[in-house]
Amino acid sequence: MAKERKPDLQSPEEAALEQHVHDMMDINAPDEPKVEASKEPVKKSKSIAITHADDAPVEAAKEEVNDAELAAAIDAANEQLAREVGTAPLVPSQKTKKAPIKLTVVHHDDEEAVPEESAETLAEPEKTEEPVSELKAVESEAQASEAIQEVDTSATVGELMERSSPLEPEIESEATNKAVSDIIAQEGDELLAVQDSAPLPDRTPNRPKKDSPSLLSLILRSPSFRWTLFAIIVIGLIFVGAYPKTRYLLLNKAGVKSTASVVITDQSTLRPLKNVKVSLAGQTVSSDENGKASLSNLALGPSEIVIEKRAYATERQKVTVGWGSNPLKDVTLKPQGVQYTFQVNDVFSGKPITEVEAAVGEFTATANEKGEIKLALDKVEADEVTVVFTAQDYRKQELKLKLSNKEPATVTMTPSRQVAFVSKRTGTYDVYKTDVDGKNESLVLKGSGKESNNITLIQHPTHSAAVLLSTRDGSYGADGTLKQALTYVNLKDSITKTVTSSSQLKPIEWIGTRLVYVMLDDSAAQDSTSRYKLMSYDFTSGDNRQLAAANYFNSVIPMSGKIFYAPSSAYQNGINNGVFAVHADGSGKDAILDKEAWNMFRTGHDTLAIAVQQEWYRLTAGKNEPEKLSGQPTDTTSRLYTDSPDSKYSIWIDNHDGKGTLMLYDQTKKSDNVVLSESGLRGPVRWINETTIVYRVSSAKETADYVLSVTGGTSHKIVDVTNSDGIEAWSY
């Protein structure tokens, strides 16, 4: 008798059992290999395997094979099916013999399951000479009878029983139902028992197995170890700090190096000493022109610095090289031997030159703020020596010194800047250069013989460069006018380059390394809106670019590093009218006034007067909005200012009583002062350094260039020249 089934059994074995019974009842089902009903391992359980004798067993239901009623039900169903379809019973016959079904018992252990043959075999297979499969026989009989219903092999046992078929009486017999219920109940109880006894599955995600911690890691994780280590470090630091020698020893062993610096001066002049030998901690260097010696890669700790220079007493000091830069205290050296005194002045102004060095071999000294030098010489085996004086922007000067003469000597030095000029002394307009005292003259550019007397030479205020505007190329324009060539001249190495040519060229100003000029485009039509072009040429890069264009420019004036220009309204159709400003490289273009300016005048160093028909405006440097005036200014003379290289001063030429007057504008004080007034004085005027200018005198007596210091002194003639133009006020 079957056991009472436990409630709420949810087992995957039940569905497998129903499917298997359905397959057993389906005569159309082909021979199939064994399909396992469950993947779950169950210990010490059994199952019924229903197979054909020549196939692999198929697990059906887990039950002891001792129920004769199940076997009888299967036989009865088999016979009933045969009668309904009109075929012979599915039992061994002489012609067609289906492979008999047999039951096997499979024990399920934790290990591999071992099948046991049941004591009962439903049918024994017999071999025939012409075996025919059951599938083919059933298909043939099914085609002959329309009464056969198609069997759904995927249906469960319950679905199969609900269908109307000839097998219903046998399948729904009391014996069959009882046997199936007993098997399901018993199997469900056993499965629940196994599931209840089995341990819960481990749902922890699989993680990489960590290696066992090493002994070192366990030690480092120990709080006591960390505190002990911390205490040792603190004690060590305290010990090292308390004993500097130990600290320096450890740092040096660790490869720590340091730096140091010292400034050495002359005790008598307090001026820096150059080429002083300085030794410290195994390193040796020499002081620079500022008397500073910088040492690196020094070992830390106590050491001795040794400072030596011929004609001076050696200095030794105890120092400690610590961690860092170690700027040491300044050291003064006491002169030994014999000291010689020199006073160095500018040749034109008579003013002291402070940045001067005097040298006799390895003996050197520099001038103080008064231009005084004290040079110490020691153990010189000669009666006379040559003292060489050098200073920036000055030509090297030499002096023969008798060592027996202990009296102070005065030395004058000449600016090193050379000046360029044009001379026709050989019959052609040649370009020369010379020192400002007339020495070291040399030819730079030989004339071609095609130059007219309309020639312009513009020298750069700080570089060894100049621009020549001449007809030296001998080329003519379309209108038959002799064209001018703009030629760049390198005064240092006499290299020249033709930049452009035009029948009209007008230089405006040097701004930085660019020359701003206006040129006529000879190929443009008379009514062209770009007939005249405002251009900018950079002699360092060779860049030659257009800044602006118009049919004509009413005025172009430089002021405060910018170019202010007023295009004519002719042929402009209302476009490009007004006053504009632009930098020499083409950047920073600004619209100053939206009305056509008929003329502009530079009435002051920082002011422009702008005439707009009957109206007048004043523009101040640094502002882009002009101020409207109540009337015409009292002075509309346009001044041509030339700024010094350091922009402290600006020079311009005025005329008083028939004489040319050099006016010096102090940009700091915003005031003008008269420097020189002389008949025939004219431009061009140019600076050769921050305080010295070159101007021209053209009279019936001579045409020559002169040099003058604006800080004092008298003018000196440089050289006779042929008259040439320079930068002039706008005159187009």
Q: For residue range 482-517, list pLDDT tens digits in order.
A: 999 999 999 999 999 999 999 999 999 999 999 999
| Lowest-confidence segment of 138-147, 531-540, 590-599 by average pLDDT | 138-147
CB 58 within 8 A of CB 34: yes
pLDDT in tens, 335-372: 988 999 999 999 999 999 998 999 999 899 999 999 99
Query: Cβ(41)–Cβ(108) under 8 Å?
Result: yes
* Phi and psi at residue 206, to the nearest 5°: -70, 120
User: What average pLDDT does range 629-651 have in this prediction?
Assistant: 93
Q: Distance (Å, rounded) from C-alpha 705 to C-alpha 425?
A: 15
What pLDDT, on a 0 to 100 scale, did the predictor assign at position 64? 45
State the amino acid at position 624 in one-letter form: N
- Over residues 254-281, the mean pLDDT reads 90
Record the pTM: 0.64
pLDDT tens profile 82-136? 665 555 554 444 444 444 444 444 444 444 444 444 434 434 444 444 444 444 4
**DSSP letters along 142-205, please?**
HHH-TTPPPP-TT--HHHHHHS--TTHHHHT-HHHHHHHHHHHHHHHHHHHHHHHHSPPP--PP
Q: Whole-angstrom Cα distance, residue 356 to residue 269?
A: 13
Contact partners, residue 209, CB within 8 Å, separation at least 6: none
The mean of the pLDDT values for the chain is: 79
Quick one: which of 273, 262, 280 has its CA closest to 327? 262
Angstrom distance (rounded) from CA 127 to CA 131: 7
Distances (CA, A) of 538 to 341, 459, 466, 488, 634: 47, 14, 12, 10, 38
Per cent of the chain over pLDDT 70 is 68
Does residue 657 have a pLDDT over 50? yes
Q: What confidence tens digit (pLDDT) does each residue in 12-33 have?
A: 555 555 565 556 555 455 544 4
Asked whether residue 157 carries a pLDDT value surpassing 60, the answer given is no
Nearest-CA neighbor of 17 among 63, 51, 56, 52? 63
- Amino acid 710 reads V
| pLDDT of 428 higher than 70 | yes
167 vs 250, higher pLDDT:
250
Amino acid in position 121: T
Q: Are 396 and 370 in contact (CB under 8 A)?
A: no
Higher confidence at residue 180 or residue 346?
346
Could you give the angle at the alpha carbon of 344 between the alpha carbons of 339 and 348, nearest 5°? Answer: 165
Most distant pair of Cα atoms in the chain: their distance = 159
Q: Burial of 668 by CB count in 10 Å (0-12 exposed, 13-18 middle, 19+ buried)?
A: exposed
Question: What pLDDT is recorded for position 14?
Answer: 53
The pLDDT value given to residue 446: 96
Question: What is the separation, in whole angstroms, between the first and last Cα of the chain?
Answer: 135
Query: Which of these, 491, 540, 547, 543, lies nearest to 517 by C-alpha position?
Result: 547
Angle of CA points 325, 328, 332, to nearest 5°: 150
Residue 532 burial (10 A CB sphere; 0-12, 13-18, 19+): buried
Q: Is residue 713 scored above 90 in pLDDT?
A: no
- Look at phi and psi of residue 424 and say left if phi exceeds 0, alpha if psi is from -120 to 50, else beta: alpha
Encode pLDDT of 45-86 as tens digits: 444 444 444 444 444 444 444 456 666 767 776 676 666 555
Structural element, H or E, at residue 294: strand 292-298
Residue 244: band (very low, low, confident or very high) from pLDDT cuts 50, 70, 90 = low
Residue at token pair 């009865």: 76
Is the omega angle on the peptide bond into residue 684 within 30 degrees of 0, that is, cis?
A: yes
CA dihedral for 80, 83, 86, 91, sign (positive or negative)? positive
